Structure formats: structure tokens, C-alpha cells
Amino acid sequence: MSKVMSRLPTNDLSEPVKRSLLTNAKRAYEIRLQTGNGGNLSGRVPGTDLIIIKASGCSFDQCAAENLITVTLDGEQVDGDGLPSRELATHLAIYKQRPDVHGVFHCHSPWAIAYANFNNTIPTVTLHAKSKLGRIPILRLSGETTQARLAAVQAMLAADRNLRVFVEDLHGIFSFASTIELARYNAELVEETAQIAWFMALSEHVTPNRERDA
Ligand SMILES: [Zn+2]
């Protein structure tokens, strides 16, 4: 792997971002929101056009300072060894279109992926999900190319300037927020909401033994 000469500013604002990335990666692995070496997360260095993202190939559990990569909003690598996550382009598309976003979290969690495969949205069935997430649309791609994915992501973001999450069909959750921690919290909430929605859908085949409230 090539060694990249660091071009980080000397008044380094990246350290708190890196600490938050590592904390949230560990948490996601511990609660099995993401197993194996899938998933990725990133954060924006405040007041700069720099994004720090997990390196490709390492698990959330293995995530350490040495496998965090810093790139510009245009994708030029300015710090860190190795390669940035393969989903860097989607992260950058979100940051470019949403200046309010300072953290992006992505995982391949099963309940959300399964629900997305059969439905056009994951219903925000709980009051908590409704208030915290608003809506959970599904992104379906019409092509396999990076360009097709980016065009679809950009269209989805343009259609709803307050969008906080979406689930890509056959892929996983993308959550983006003012902090990395909030992006991870919201991804957890999407997965939990998808699981509840599944149970509620299944329960429609069970004879209830109580009257539902009106
Ligand atoms: Zn992925």
C-alpha cells in the first residue's frame, strides 16, 4: 500500500472526529449491528472540506487510528495509508449535498435489508421512530454502476432535504446526521424499527386475544 504524505492542517481538528469514529465503530460491532468486515462510517472535520472514513477491508471491531483515511470532498486522499471504504462515493455525495451532515453511518443489518426487499418503505411503526427518523425510504437502483448509484442517491436527497436515513435494496442502511454518534443511533433505530415492523406484519396472521384500541 502506498504511503500518503499527510496534508492535514496543523491545528488538527480531526482528532475528535477520529475518536468518535472509533467509538461508534466498536459500539456497532458489539451490538452486532454489523458483523464481519462489512459496513463503514465517516465524519466531516468541522470547518474544512475533509472527510475521515474507515479504510476498506477492516472490520468495525478492528477499526483503529491507523486504518482511518482522510480525503477531500472530491475524493483526493490526503492522509492515512491503505484505501478508503469502497462506498466512499456515496458518503461524499451525501456530504456534498447536505452541509448540515457531519457523520455518515452505513451497515448491512438483516431486518432492514429483508424488509426493504418486499416493500417500498420501512414504516415508522413506533412513535419514537416517527419522531426521530420521519421516514425510511428504500433506494432501488436501476443500474450497477457507481454513476447510477450516485444519481439515485442525489435524487433521493434532493427530493427530501430533511432526509435522515434510507435503506438501499439488497445492501443496507445509510444514516446521516449532525454527528457520527447520531447517525449510528439512527441506524440502530432503523434496524429496530424494521424488526418491529416485521413482527407486526407477522402478527396479522395471529388471532388477537384482545381488542385493539381505536
Ligand atoms: Zn455496504
Grid cell at residue 208: 388477537
Could you tell me the pTM of the whole model?
0.90
Which residues are paired to 71 by β-bridges?
51, 77
Per the listing, cell 419514537 goes with 128
Q: What is the pLDDT of residue 183?
A: 98
**Buried residues in 26-59 as b, exposed as e (16+ CB within 10 A):** eebbeeebbbeeebbbbbbbeeeebbbbbbbebb
**CB 72: neighbour CB atoms within 10 A?**
14
Q: Do the domain assignments include residue 52?
A: yes
Phi-psi region at 47: left, alpha or beta (left = phi > 0; alpha = psi -120 to 50): left
The 10s digit of each residue's pLDDT in 21-79 is 999 999 999 999 999 999 999 999 999 999 999 999 999 999 999 999 999 999 999 99
Q: Do the domain assignments include residue 7?
A: no
Q: What is the pLDDT of residue 10?
A: 47
Angstrom distance (rounded) from CA 143 to CA 149: 7
pLDDT < 70: residue spans in the chain: 1-11, 206-214
CATH of the domain at 119: 3.40.225.10
Cβ(26)–Cβ(60) under 8 Å?
Answer: yes
Q: Do the domain assignments include residue 92?
A: yes
Q: Do the domain assignments include residue 213?
A: no
Q: How far is the CA of 110 from the centre of ligand 1 (A)?
A: 12
Q: Do the domain assignments include residue 71?
A: yes
Q: What is the pLDDT of residue 12?
A: 80
Q: What is the pLDDT of residue 146?
A: 83
Q: Do the domain assignments include residue 74?
A: yes
Q: How far is the CA of 176 from the centre of ligand 1 (A)?
A: 14
Report how many domains make up the chain. Answer: 1
**CB 96: neighbour CB atoms within 10 A?**
15
Cβ(122)–Cβ(138) under 8 Å?
Answer: yes
Q: What is the pLDDT of residue 4?
A: 65
Determine the residue type at 39. Answer: G
Q: How far is the CA of 179 from the centre of ligand 1 (A)?
A: 20
The closest alpha carbon to 92, from 69, 64, 71, belongs to 71
The closest alpha carbon to 137, from 152, 149, 154, 120, belongs to 120
Q: How far is the CA of 10 from the centre of ligand 1 (A)?
A: 33
Write out the residue range of the structural domain in which residue 185 sits: 14-203
Q: Do the domain assignments include residue 4?
A: no
Grid cell at residue 57: 477491508
Sign of CA dihedral 10, 14, 19, 22: negative
Q: How far is the CA of 204 from the centre of ligand 1 (A)?
A: 32
Q: Do the domain assignments include residue 3?
A: no
Cβ(58)–Cβ(37) under 8 Å?
Answer: yes
Longest dimension (CA), the chain: 67
Q: What is the pLDDT of residue 3?
A: 60
